[in-house]
Amino acid sequence: MTRLTREQIAARVALDIPDGSYVNLGIGVPTLVADFLPSDREIILHTENGLLGMGGAAIGDEIDEDLINAGKIYVTETPGASYFHHADSFAMMRGGHIDVCVLGAYQVSQSGDLANWRTNSPTAIPGVGGAMDLAVGARKVYVVMELLSKTGESKIVSECTYPLTGRACIDRAYTDVALFEFGGERPLVREIYDDITLDELIAQVGIPLDDGR
């Protein structure tokens, strides 16, 4: 087993974010991507609550009660940062101004549909936040997740069984087992990390995959 750790997945995504990009990172593993952005690239982070040029987490004296990120964690601002209100922040997202967003996912369908805001549990509290806006608005939508659920089922499926966040919106899914690309007829396998063959991966996922390596 040579599956990637969460940090390794985040590091892999970071490599695909070009110099000069404006990027929105979702809550959870997507946030880790910030720790691995190559230092020789100038990349501007956007947070939905009205800041471009977000820095790292604020520690000690850096904490400012008026400065948090979408996950409601205290953060810092970088030189050249700007603040704006919520309608402007989401106009940036919907209007195609954000180059890359990185989101978590419950399920991804073979046609690139995303389900990441609600499970089917009757006791779960539904909450959508900015996920649907990012899914349709960012130029590139990257998803990070473990390939298999806790019960061993593939999260890449023929059709999502969880409620959708957006249709045919995902460009790439970075998982612990492989890197998938969407937009064609079938998902394209770009990289495999585990010591398995493509056929074994296809058996695990349970839907046809093309070899794009």
Partner 1 sequence: MIDKEVTTADEAVADVTDGATIMVGGFGPPGQPTALIEALLRKGVRDLVIINNNAGAGGAAISDLFAAERVRKVICSFPKAIGSTVFDELYLAGKIELELIPQGTLAERIRAAGAGLGGFYTRTGVGTELTEGREVRRIDGVDYVFEAPLHADFALIRGHRGDRLGNMVYRKTGRNFGPIMATAAATVIAEVDQLVERGELDPETIVTPGIYVDRILDVTRHNEEARR
Catalytic residue among 7, 42, 48, 62: 48
Among 3, 36, 53, 83, which residue interacts with partner 1 (rule: CB under 8 A)? 83
In the complex with partner 1, the residue whose CB is nearer, 91 or 202, is 91
In the complex with partner 1, the residue whose CB is nearer, 66 or 199, is 66
Counting contacts by CB under 8 A, is residue 64 touching partner 1? Answer: yes
Q: Which of 104, 125, 101 is nearest to 115 (CA)?
A: 104
Counting contacts by CB under 8 A, is residue 98 touching partner 1? Answer: no
Kindly state the smallest distance separating residue 74's Cβ from partner 1, in Å: 10
Single-letter code of the amino acid located at 129: G
Contact letters for partner 1, residues 146-185 (x by CB under 8 A): -----------------xxxxx------------------
35-54 binders of partner 1 (CB under 8 A): 47-51
Q: What residues contact 88, with CB distance under 8 A and at least 6 apart?
A: 50
Span interacting with partner 1, options 17-25, 29-37, 123-131, 139-147, rule CB under 8 A: 123-131
Q: What does the DSSP 8-state code read for residue 166?
A: B
Contact letters for partner 1, residues 4-23 (x by CB under 8 A): --------------------
153 is catalytic: no
Counting contacts by CB under 8 A, is residue 141 touching partner 1? Answer: no
Kindly state the smallest distance separating residue 116's Cβ from partner 1, in Å: 11
* DSSP symbols for the chain: --PPPHHHHHHHHHHTS-TT-EEEE-SSHHHHGGGGS-TTS--EEEETTTEEEEEEE--GGG--TT-B-TTS-BEEEEEEEEE--HHHHHHHHHTT---EEEEE-SEEETT--EE-S--S-TTSPP--TTHHHHHHHSSEEEEE--SB-TTS-BSEESS-SSPPSBSS--SEEE-SSEEEE-SSSS-EEEEE-SS--HHHHHHHH-S--EE--
Kindly state the smallest distance separating residue 204's Cβ from partner 1, in Å: 28
Q: By the criterion CB under 8 A, which residues form the site for partner 1? A: 47-51, 64-69, 72, 77, 83-87, 89-91, 93-94, 123, 125-133, 136-137, 163-167
Q: Which residues are catalytic?
A: 48
